[in-house]
Amino acid sequence: MVTTTSSLFAVPEPLGMVDMEAVSEAARAATLAQNRAGATRLEAAHVLVDQFARSAQAQADEGGAGAGSRRPAYARLDPEARARDHLVAACQLTCWHAARLVTAGTQIHRRLPRLRSTVDRGLLPEQVAVDIACRLAEVPDAIVSAVEDEVVARFTDDLDGGDRPTRNAVDSAIDDAVERHDPAAAQDAAAAAAATRSVRFRGDRNGMATMWAKLTAADAELLRRRIETDASAASADGLDGSLDQLRADALAALAVYPPAGGPSATSPGPGSGSGPGSGSDPAPASEYDGIELGDVRLGADLPRPTLGNAARAGQPIRISVIASAARGLPNRVEFVHGTYSSVEWLCTELLEGDDASVRFELIDPAPGVLDSPEHALRYVITPAMAERIRMRDGTCRHPGCSVPAEACDVDHVIAFNTKDPELGGPTTEWNLVCLCRKHHREKTFGTNAYRSGPLGELVIITDTGHEHRTRPKGPLARARDAIWEREWNAFADRIVADDGTLINPPGQDRYGPRRRPA
């Protein structure tokens, strides 16, 4: 049997039977085929956008002249957003990756002819092409052609020599080209980039969490210098830990609030003021561009955040306990707001912290415990029900979307009938899901069909007839899964004997008490 790759090279199977040169050529041919497949995906994304745009225009035309213009702005769906949501499920992508694929596809086929030619010939990997196109989307039309020619020529030559550029290298090369061709545009881009600054947190395994921060270069440098200074001081003082660990401790120490009425880290302490009778001048704080970095001295310990400290910031800890002990499982504890290390850490802080404020609440994992006939016929979702749905779902329920449930809307899967509530979808747990605002609008004003299940399953049926399913992944859903697994294992133990045969009646010893065949 012979496998061919675009008539470029033929390799007898398996590859282990051929020499190194043949295997290398097979890998190169496969890479070329993969690049061309990426070009097809980019073209498909562009075509999808055009098709959704034509469909929207056709619907507007069917509604009569000017019907589309009378539709409220919030009810008009962006064709690129609809193409993104379609590709999320069709290509098994996250929303972020699908959005970049759509942006790159439309840019390459509408305003980047040289990049399109290079992609169609399979000379650029799909991810590199997406990185270049998405960055060029931010370049003004007046200079995009010149920047495109310069960047594509450079990276094509690098790839031909086996040097694949990183995303940072792509961004830097395009930034440099923009600055050369239009310095004013580079300044505008810097101002626009400053508006995208953000900080995000996500809980990880083993009591850890990850933090992402996007800051201006000036602010990042100030923060870096503060962390480096504090970590170096702690290291010189002999504190245990590597420099990376001490940097992390220094960053956490910035979260410590001073006691009410006490001096801050950058303010003079008792006896160090410059007022009458102080007897000494305050120690000057080091400055960088007029911004105080704080009075950091060698030998200073790194303070640690505590629950009492959080209480001084007005942020009490809230804890939900999912009651599954009655079903033979330990109670599952969830920190609803914020990410903390462990229950042991919490207990230590409660014993040692000052003014710690903690609120416990017990959650019944049984489906529908908050449902009632009275609330089922009301459109407004109670705060307790909304929080329960968010605890069940964890994130937006659209395929590929990872927007946290706290930032999502709680929506009726079957639409609520405000005129006759008995004929519409009830306000009950099985009929409610979390959807981010973008996917909430897609559900309300789009053409997909939605169906829910008793435990929060969501089925989305697209215009093309494809079905996409998602299941809730929040702490409440995980507790239910653990309960179901334990109950199923217990049931299997009752009906299946040690030798794999079925027991009848269930739960009885197949051969009588303490008897086995000889």
pLDDT tens sequence across 53-83:
998 888 777 765 454 456 677 778 889 999 9
Report yes or no: 356 and 440 within 8 Å, Cβ to Cβ: no
Q: Tell which wins on pLDDT, 236 or 132.
A: 132
Helix residue ranges, H only, 182-216: 183-194
Q: What is the mean pLDDT of residues 150-165?
A: 89
Task: Tell me what pLDDT residue 336 has.
Answer: 54
Task: Tell me what pLDDT residue 13 has.
Answer: 56
pTM: 0.68
Task: Tell me what pLDDT residue 173 has.
Answer: 92
pLDDT tens sequence across 376-397:
999 999 999 999 999 899 999 9
Selection from 87-91, 265-269, 431-435, 505-509 with the highest mean pLDDT? 431-435
- In the Cβ-directed half-sphere of 334, how many Cα atoms lie within 13 Å? 22
> Rounded CA gap, 371 and 430, in Å?
9
Q: Which of 137, 422, 20 is nearest to 151 (CA)?
A: 137
Q: How confident is the model at residue 202 (pLDDT cuts 50, 70, 90)?
A: confident
Q: How are beta strands 291-294 and 286-288 bridged, if at all? A: antiparallel
> Rounded CA gap, 474 and 392, in Å?
5
Report yes or no: 302 and 253 within 8 Å, Cβ to Cβ: yes
Task: Tell me what pLDDT residue 354 has.
Answer: 57
Task: Tell me what pLDDT residue 509 has.
Answer: 57
Q: Tell which wins on pLDDT, 38 or 191.
A: 38
Tally Cβ neighbours within 10 Å of residue 70: 9
* Whether pLDDT at 139 is above 80: yes
Report yes or no: 420 and 438 within 8 Å, Cβ to Cβ: no
Mean pLDDT (the chain, rounded): 78
Q: Tell which wins on pLDDT, 261 or 219.
A: 219
Task: Tell me what pLDDT residue 505 has.
Answer: 63
Tally Cβ neighbours within 10 Å of residue 29: 19
Q: Which of 345, 356, 255 is nearest to 308 (CA)?
A: 356
Q: What is the mean pLDDT of residues 106-127?
A: 94
pLDDT tens sequence across 442-488:
998 888 899 998 888 999 998 878 888 899 998 888 888 877 877 78
